A and B are shown apart, each in its own frame.
Chain A
Amino acid sequence: MRLFRSGAILVGGVLVLCAPARAARPAREGGSFTILSTLVETPGVSTREQAVRDRVRALLPSWARPDIDAKGNLLVAAGPERGARTLLFIAHMDETGYLVKTVRDDGSLEVKQVGGFFETLYEGQVVLVHTVKGDVGGVVPPRPNYLETAAAEAPAAFGGDAVHVDLGVTTRQSAEALGVAVGDSITIPKTFQRLYGSYGSGRAVDDRAGCTALLMALRGLDTKTLRNRVIFAFSVEEEIGLNGAQALAQTLRPDLAIAVDTFVSSDSPLEREAFAHAVLGKGPVVRAIDSSNITDPAIVDRVLALARQNGLPIQYGLTRGGNDGSVFPEFGTPDLALSWPTVHSHSPVEVIHERDLDALGALVRLIAERW
């Protein structure tokens, strides 16, 4: 989910070893986390979504005939071409991270922040640079005075030009010999962790969970009985200005745009529960109001009724952030945002509950078949 700041649009030979951390509860075969973990562990910083697109394509049902538009959005259509209505479901493939801005003479990398996040989350942490030759390990050095007490007095004073990446080389030539080039994307080493009690955590659950919900719906669709034309779009560049969705809005005129993206919840001991309080594990969320859109209450009511009639848990509320569907109302198409509740947004440890994602996939399918 794209970060909105005070109402303004924010535009903005490696080995990874993880301890054999064992989930306290065995993984559930065939659950939505099986797809989600695959997608989360694939890097896809905004404008560098190719690997995620390839994964999505590989996970599509055999009947699907994906199309990729000039912007890089992947689209799958189903149902009659002249259906009763045209519904557009959108989930974005991209994630926040960094891009290499400059390879310095000393071999270190100047980087550009992509999307909105607390940059301190990268300070002193290991990262991977995704190059044409493969992943290259690096470290984001901490601020020079990180050992001193003064650093703790302004701990958030880290970011912007202070962020660079140390690859362990001392010359630009050595860095380039590793395959590193301007424009390469940088992420943390990406691992999806199953937690106790059907929770899971990882970087870019936003919006790989949305992609997962669309894939689950596509896999379950009975395409022969569809009354509506349904289009599933896996979009690019959401985090840097809804750019993929903007491109879609130029060519598609659906009757309803349904963005499937994060509901950033205050269900956390570090947040205030005054708003955005959707509880993890209590079902999908209709994101009725966010920083980019106010959904027609009649549409909200219809979704709630449809979910309840079909035994799906459902929540609704308001939160912050923008969604891909919000670019459509200006062209006459209403925007509905469907979500799962998550906490720790845009951090390395976004948390999600598997039942919420299972139900969200079912809800997307339900809307595709019954709207």
Chain B
Amino acid sequence: MTTGRRPVRRRPLAAGLVLLAAACAVAGPAMAGQVEDAAALVRGLCSIGGVAGHEGQVRAAIRKAAPSWATFEEDNLGNLTVTVGSGGTGLLLVAHMDEPGYVVSGITDRGYLRLQRLSRQPLPALFDQFHMGQPLVVQTRRAQVPAVAVVPSTHLWRGNPAPLNRPILDEDLFVDIGARAPDDVAAAGVALLDPVVIGRRVVDLAAGRIAGPAMDDRAGCATLLRLLQTLEPSKLRGTLTVAFSAQEVMGGRGAERLRNRLHVGDVLVIDAPAAGRAAAVPGGGPAVSAPGGKEGYSQRLYNLVAEQAAESQIPLQNVAFTAGGAQAAFQGKTQVLAMGVPVQYAGTPGEVTDAHDVLALAQLLKAIAEAER
């Protein structure tokens, strides 16, 4: 087993897209069916809100979509794990369930909700503005309560954007659930600290792409679910643990719990790659942390991933991943590498991902789990 750095040729993105498209064309209707299955997983998971510490509904959806043989364990932070196989160097695959959002931080005398953003990770500068004037959902203990984020009326400002032309923060948001007094809020079942997320508007774009909120990292969760659905436990080499983690946006708290709870050798963190100019492109194949990445980067795992991708003719996009989160939790404790499904327009309610990438990454992870490490 080599641990030295081995040069791996980067496949140009355009060539990768052609390869992926060609593979789909050759496979025909069967492939199209698989893409639709992957897309359905993504749609289903993105249609559910899951603010950090309040991932219960996402967890329930994952349990429901998992194959019947999967026996889940749930720890005190809400991480969901399923372990299969035995012996060998344990492999952990982890994707986070939570998304940046809000909790109810106050209730005004007129029955409006005030919000506090719940995320320790850097968010787009316009994150709070993306919520103003949009439908929201309050996830109470009993029900999903529809809500709207108050916005100035364009008529009353004569089209002057002045009220919006200043930094909009979470403290600027007022949420209307239809209550006009604190008693109404209580009667609606809404209470302090209830989580609040953007209304779930998910649309299909062309060619297997999907747009909606929280693709980061529901696309990763969908990938692991697809893996579980297609996994053949008898072919595994060693022990595989598939984990759906909680509270990633709060500094990787769920991953830290996993690190202390599980005894694994290798960790592949399945998360959305960093956004920006050199970001991975949806439809171009799975993203992998580029060689030379500083945090949570294992050259040995990178080589393994690259080899299996080449054998399976799956294009990879070498890109940067945001430091921190789950990678940081495992750094220095074990070999770790970040991979993921590319997400465009990250941090907006219209994040875009591609079901082909979900499918390809699930296929690649299956090959890795079945390979000698």
Please report A residues at the B interface, Cβ cutoff 8 Å: 1, 3-6, 10, 13-25, 116-118, 120-121, 123-128, 136-142, 146-157, 166-169, 174-175, 178, 188-189, 191, 193-199, 201, 264-266, 268-271, 276, 281, 319-321, 343-349, 351
Q: Which residue of A lies closest to B189 (CB)?
A: A24
**Chain A CB within 10 A, most for which of B43, B163, B165, B204:** B204
Report the separation of the CA atoms of residues A169 and B203 in the bound assembly, to the nearest whole angstrom.
14
B148 and A195: CB pair below 8 A? yes
The residues in B between 252 and 307 inclusive whose CB is less than 8 angstroms from any CB of A are: 275-276, 282
Q: Which residue of A lies closest to B180 (CB)?
A: A197
* Set B43, B168, B282: member contacting A152, Cβ < 8 A: B168
Q: Which residue of B lies closest to A6 (CB)?
A: B158
**Chain A CB within 10 A, most for which of B48, B126, B166:** B126
B177 and A24: CB pair below 8 A? yes
* Set A21, A25, A319: member contacting B137, Cβ < 8 A: A21
When A24-B145, A139-B205 are in contact, do A348 and B178 touch as well, CB less than 8 Å?
no
Query: Which residues of the other chain, A, contact B211 by a CB distance below 8 angstroms?
Result: 126, 137-139, 168
Q: How many residues from B make CB contacts under 8 Å with A?
A: 74
Query: Which residues of the other chain, A, contact B67 by a CB distance below 8 angstroms?
Result: none
Main SS of chain B's interface residues?
Answer: loop
Report the separation of the CA atoms of residues A319 and B354 in the bound assembly, to the nearest whole angstrom.
47
Report the separation of the CA atoms of residues A269 and B134 in the bound assembly, to the nearest whole angstrom.
16
B159 and A116: CB pair below 8 A? yes
A156 and B161: CB pair below 8 A? yes
* Set A19, A23, A270: member contacting B48, Cβ < 8 A: A19
A118 and B125: CB pair below 8 A? no
A116 and B154: CB pair below 8 A? yes
A126 and B188: CB pair below 8 A? no
The residues in B between 228 and 266 inclusive whose CB is less than 8 angstroms from any CB of A are: none
* Set A3, A21, A146: member contacting B144, Cβ < 8 A: A21
Query: Which residues of the other chain, B, contact A268 by a CB distance below 8 angstroms?
Result: 150, 152-153, 174
A269 and B177: CB pair below 8 A? no
When A15-B204, A347-B133 are in contact, do A120 and B161 touch as well, CB less than 8 Å?
yes
How far is the CB of A103 from the nearest CB of chain B, in Å? 13
Does residue B332 face the partner (Cβ distance < 8 Å to A)? no
How far is the CB of B293 from the nearest CB of chain A, in Å? 19
How far is the CB of A267 from the nearest CB of chain B, in Å? 9
Does residue B98 face the partner (Cβ distance < 8 Å to A)? no
A178 and B165: CB pair below 8 A? no
A348 and B133: CB pair below 8 A? yes
A201 and B202: CB pair below 8 A? no
Selected A-B contacts with CB under 8 Å, 5 pairs = A19-B137, A136-B206, A156-B165, A197-B188, A347-B133
A18 and B200: CB pair below 8 A? yes
Query: Which residues of the other chain, B, contact A198 by a CB distance below 8 angstroms?
Result: 178
Extra contacts, 12 of them, besides A116-B154, A155-B167 (Cβ < 8 A), are A4-B155, A14-B204, A16-B202, A16-B203, A17-B47, A17-B200, A24-B178, A126-B212, A139-B348, A168-B209, A178-B206, A195-B177
